[in-house]
Amino acid sequence: MIYIINTKTFIFAKKNNMSDFENVVRSRRSIRNYEKTDHFDHDIVKKSLELSILSPNSSNMQLWEFYRIISPEAKEKIAYFCLDQVPAKTASELVVFVARPDHVKRSIKFNLDLINDPDNFEKESRKEKRRHYFSKTMPLFYSKDFLFVFSIIKKLIVTFTGFKRPSVREVTVIDKKVTIHKSIALAAQTFMLAVRNFNYDTCPLEGYDSYRIKKYLKLPKQAQINMVVAVGKSATDGVWYPQKRFSYSEVVKEI
């Protein structure tokens, strides 16, 4: 159960019947202020990112990168680019989650190599289908598009085929961006829960200057910042407001 005492002090006590997983999920909060310490265990960030990498992701394309901001100088810079938000300024480490649509060729090769690996236990018929998927469908979906021309053509094709049978409608360059960011957000969530499992805290941030962060990290134009996650040990005033959500019946539709 989570107790919020005088809206500032955040005390967490595990209920007897709570599973470890429920405990981790229920005790995660966006922490806005972190303890100042020289004893932050940076290894838990490494371990949490190793778990993040196991997150489900669209077609196993893994179009993501994770930049650990560890040195005080780099942290100060990135915190400034995060508009000097308190969680960024007080965090022991910051992790920048980055989308890499420019890594498509590398990801296709990775998956084709996996299919062709002699140790791959996959059925031969499935291998053939997946080879086609990675050598034809993926290059088409992730193809570059000048002035949306290709997107419009693809959209017209799926609208037409959609009259006859169920078809994937998300084929434009904008859809491609959403697809990549969905997967990275899942990785970020795995990361935040993993950090919580190690008894540390996080705060996801999207209030930042992506242009300046990209420039500082020497990222190419095509790379996109998905979010920055602050990591540390919550200070006693780390939780700034109670956790409230719409109720189950308001947001869940049982059909």
Ligand X SMILES: Cc1cc2nc3c(=O)[nH]c(=O)nc-3n(C[C@H](O)[C@H](O)[C@H](O)COP(=O)(O)O)c2cc1C
Asked if 30 is part of the footprint of ligand X (rule: CB under 6 A), the reply reads yes
Helices (H), the chain: 20-27, 43-52, 72-81, 86-90, 104-116, 124-132, 138-141, 149-164, 173-197, 210-216, 248-251
Residue 32 makes contact with ligand X by CB under 6 A = yes
Q: How far apart are CA 117 and CA 104, in angstroms?
A: 20
Interface region with ligand X, contact rule CB under 6 A, candidates 24-32, 115-123, 170-178, 215-223: 24-32
- The closest of 216, 242, 250, 213 to 228, measured between CA atoms, is 213
Residue among 141 and 208 whose Cβ is closer to ligand X: 208
- Establish if 204 lies at the interface with ligand X (CB under 6 A): yes
- For residues 4 and 10, the answer to whether their CB atoms sit within 8 Å is yes
Give the nearest distance from C-beta 189 to ligand X in angstroms. Answer: 8
Query: H or E segment at 94?
Result: strand 93-99
With contacts defined by CB under 6 A, name the span among 26-34, 38-46, 61-69, 145-153 that binds ligand X.
26-34
207, containing H or E segment: none
CB of 30 to ligand X, least distance (A): 3
Please choose, out of 71-79, 117-125, 145-153, 204-212, the segment that lies near ligand X by the rule CB under 6 A. 204-212
| Residue 59 Rama label (left phi>0; alpha psi -120 to 50; beta) | left
Considering the rule CB under 6 A, would residue 162 count as an interface residue with ligand X? no
With helix as H, strand as E and coil as C, how does 1-16 read? CEEEECCCEEEECCCC
**Smallest distance, ligand X to C-beta of residue 120, A:** 36
Minimal distance, residue 129 CB to ligand X, in Å: 35
Smaller CB separation from ligand X, 134 or 191:
191
Q: Does 205 bind ligand X (CB under 6 A)?
A: yes
Could you say which residues in the range 218-247 bind ligand X, by CB under 6 A? Answer: 227, 243
Binding site for ligand X (CB under 6 A): 29-30, 32, 85, 87, 203-207, 227, 243
